[in-house]
Amino acid sequence: MDWDAEGLLEGLEDEESRKARAELLDHLHDEEGCGVDELRRAVEEDRLVLLPVERLLAGDKTYSQRQIAEESGLELERLSDYRRALGLAVPDADAEVLGEADLDTAKDAAAIAAAGFSREETLEVTRVLGRGMVRYAEALRVLFAQTFLEPGDSELELARRLENAAEELLPLSSRLLEHVFLLHMRQLLRNDVISIAERTSGKVSDTTETAVAFADLVGFTELGETVDVE
């Protein structure tokens, strides 16, 4: 492929940089199956070095949202609501941009719905999950950048280093995330108290009774009038 003719080497001044990008483009096109339009968008958006990691995270894209809804048994509208609650974009229903992980998650969501959880309360929990995960993902992204960026990297070198690191470390991060969730859940259950009223009504209260005490310290007001706050 003549990447120069495609305009994908524009803006690179020295021959070494052009050669490194051309090699990265060859790898993504010939071995990863990226189309020229996808590569052009990545170059225009200045994220070409991240494309290998993106494809690693996405896996094989073989499903549309409509297909996932049909195979999982989860209504298309509910699947879209779930993605919005997570803070994710909702793709066109017939665009084949989703993978096996998306299908597995939709099946899990369908199982949760079948267990009797209400739709609105489930979406609220999903919103909490989305808000927490975006902060975790952003912190992890910054950590990766600080750790693996090196001065003078070519696009090819950086792309390979990030891809290798992601392939090795992201599974560890996923296991850590699951473990921390279980630790917090166990701690919450140990400290939780389900009252007689809640057991009778079958509904857990979303409020907590709190006792607040005020101590009247003799002479405190007079003291505050004569000395600084510090």
State the residue for tokens 């071995």: 31
Sign of the Cα pseudo-torsion (99, 101, 102, 106, in order): positive
- Yes or no: say if 156 and 24 are a contact pair by the CB < 8 Å rule: yes
CA 23, CA 192: separation in Å to the nearest integer? 57
Phi, psi of 57 (to 5 degrees): -70, -35
- Yes or no: say if 93 and 63 are a contact pair by the CB < 8 Å rule: no
CA 36, CA 63: separation in Å to the nearest integer? 21
Q: 81 and 15 in one domain?
A: no
Q: 192 and 146 in one domain?
A: yes
Look at residue 230 and give its three-state secondary structure: coil
Q: Give a yes or no: residue 142 inside a domain.
A: yes
pLDDT by 10s per residue, the chain, length 230 = 899 898 999 888 789 999 999 999 999 999 888 889 989 999 999 899 989 988 888 777 789 999 999 999 999 999 999 999 999 999 999 998 898 889 999 999 999 989 999 899 999 999 999 999 999 989 988 888 888 888 888 899 999 999 999 888 888 888 899 999 999 988 877 766 665 556 666 666 667 678 888 877 777 777 777 877 66
Q: 117 and 10 in one domain?
A: no
Q: Give a yes or no: residue 182 inside a domain.
A: yes
Look at residue 51 and give its three-state secondary structure: helix
Q: Give a yes or no: residue 226 inside a domain.
A: no
Domain that holds residue 140: 47-199
- Yes or no: say if 91 and 65 are a contact pair by the CB < 8 Å rule: yes
Q: 155 and 73 in one domain?
A: yes
The tally of domains found in the chain comes to 2
Q: Give a yes or no: residue 33 inside a domain.
A: yes
Q: Give a yes or no: residue 212 inside a domain.
A: no
